[in-house]
Amino acid sequence: MKSIFFRRQFMPLLLACCSMAATAQNRMTPETLWGLHRVSGNSISKDGRFVYYSSKTVNWKTEKSTVHQYRINLEDGSRTEWTAEGRTITQRYGNAWYSFSDNFLYQSTDSGNTWKEIYSGLQGAENVWVSPNGKYVAFSKDVMIKPANGTDIYSDLPNTTAKIYTDLNYRHWDAWDDGKYSHIFVVSLKEGTVKDIMEDEAYDCPQKPFGGAEDLAWSPDSKGFVYVCKKKAGKEYALSTNTDLFFYSMNTGTTSNWTEGRMGYDTQPLFTEDGRRIAWLSMSRDGYEADKNDVVMMDVATKKVINLTSKWDGTAESFIWSNTGDRVYFNAPFEGTVQLFDAEVPRTDRDKVVVNNLTKGKYDINGVIGQAGGEIIVSRCDMNHASELFAVKPKYGDMRQLTHENDQVYQKMEMSKTELKSIQTPDGATLRTWIIYPPDFDPKKKYPTLLYCQGGPQSPLSQFYSVRWNFQLMAAQGYIVVAPNRRGMPGWGVQWNEAISKDWGGLAIQDYLTAIDEVSKASYVDKNRMGCVGASYGGYSVFMLAGVHNNRFKSFIAHDGLFDLKSWYGTTEELWFANWDIGGPYWKQPAPASYEKFNPINFVNKWNTPIMIVQGGLDYRVPLEQGLEAFQAARLHNVKAKLLYLPNENHWVLHPQNGIAWQREFFKWLDETLK
């Protein structure tokens, strides 16, 4: 599940133990990894001559970050640093740029050289959207709707810590419900009026916990905007994925539902430059958050909807309109990578939509920024390189590198070889598996080998450059890494992607065993030093494999894994996921088979291998008790075990020094158990 287990664009860079700094200088180390620049594409100038981007660095000692902003001339490749004086750049329309800091909104009409204050009422704002005509400002802000904290309910009890709830969704991701909801406000800069367009609704926009600026889009004529909202609360919210796109009219002050009857996620609305069309990402089934994500468009005047990718056997991640509005460009998982595609808008009802694969290579197109002339500006990474910006010529798939933030580091570094190997499974399927080799790999030697179990469970295992599970760093410590594209991963067709639902411990687990058995036939794999690691569904996989691996592995590491599906169902928050993937509650009659056949706790009597368990204290998706139960079960079975508890972390590790501790313990454990 994407929102549960793996969000590549938001995860922090991983760290490792200081002792590993003693390895050769031409290998990846934790210090080098943390020193890399994190590149993000922002926008493109209206004339298509310049690309704007930011480069961020993190100091793990102070846990502070520094951001620099640059402009690249696409004609000669020159780079110029520009600044908004520490402000957050929000957007650009024509020659006008907007930024905000604290309570103030600023405008620049000379490419960021000078700025003037145009509004000062942004107290508490988290997102700011200026209308294309510059007359209005929309922003999101939390407002109290339904008090839940005792201090908000009882004014005479300032020291109470009570929280009172009468329905579900009382906590989400890493935060307890405090009764506040993120609402959209609209300001008329001329009149100074401010309006909460959601009034007393107990709903959020942007969507929590991960929604942002992509959840609202102004129409190019500034007559209104479309925003994403799931207008459900309590138990209904916890059971449903049905978000809709709502249009707010500036003329009438009314809101209408543009996607009524579409039952799954509808997200990322985006108008064409002329405003005639709007497109968005859409899933068809309520409760299935890993459903096929289609690019759907609508004619704004007629409200006619066309699914541009309905006949294509894949799932989209993000998209942009072409400058002419006659096609969309989007990125999507494809055969162990993420590539760039396009789909042309049909001119007549008789025309078929054709999806074209524009790029092919051993890399991920992990972001699509925009079109500049005849090129598409994208973000690209691979298992040996962090993200940089590239320009793609869509006709031929050729691309040129635009940013070079990390070139000096990589030029001095010996890279790992990566190979996508085809393996036949017992049921006759082809399992494609990434193999990552140490930088100085010698087939005449023997190497300790790690089976990597991906989260999700329906997240792509591609050429991503992980900000925590970093294959380059693992290989640099002398490990071969085996990363199978097992059942449940997108990029191999919808049927393969859906094969894992209600079969968590079935074919997917068999795929893991098949992959490690095949790879371990090689003479350079030391069968006496094989480990298995993973997080979330990957952590669940580790727990399952610990009970069925038949002594293949000498060590396990599980991070935020599901150990007991029954207790997990009773404490997790997004119940739509459990209902879809597990089959429903454990008290259902007949009870879903997963609770017996695929529940790791039922196999704990067979645990006999050292296991390290990592658990975040603020993880409400896979709550604390899952890790504690697993650790306690291991020790009571006299299994060597270690618990790494991170009280202030959620499903990820976001604090740099916690990340360093995480990596030190990760490799220390492997050193102890794979000697």
Report, as residue numbers or ranges, the catalytic residues: 536, 619, 651
Strand 611-616 and strand 641-646: the pairing is: parallel
As a whole number of Å, the end-to-end CA separation of the chain is 35
Q: Which long-range contacts (CB under 8 A, 24 or more apart) does 120-123 make?
A: 121/187, 121/194
The CA dihedral of 16, 17, 21, 22, to the nearest 10 degrees, is -140
Rounded to the nearest 5°, which phi and psi values hold at 3? Answer: -75, -20
CA dihedral 558, 559, 564, 566 (to 10 degrees): -160
d(CA 159, CA 140): 30
Neighbours of 155 (CB within 10 A): 7
Kind of pairing between the strands at 64-73 and 375-382? unpaired
One DSSP character per residue, 599-627 reads -GGGGGGG--S-EEEEEETT-SSS-HHHH
d(CA 595, CA 586): 7
Q: What DSSP assignment string belongs to 167-197?
A: SS-SEETTEE--SEEEEEEEEETTT--EEET
CA distance 444 to 602: 41
- Sheet (strand 555-559) strand order: 418-424, 430-436, 480-484, 447-453, 525-535, 555-559, 611-616, 641-646
Quick check: 327 and 342 in contact, CB under 8 A? yes
Residue 637 is classified by DSSP as: T
517: amino acid identity, one letter: D
Helix axes 507-519, 537-548, angle to 10 degrees: 70
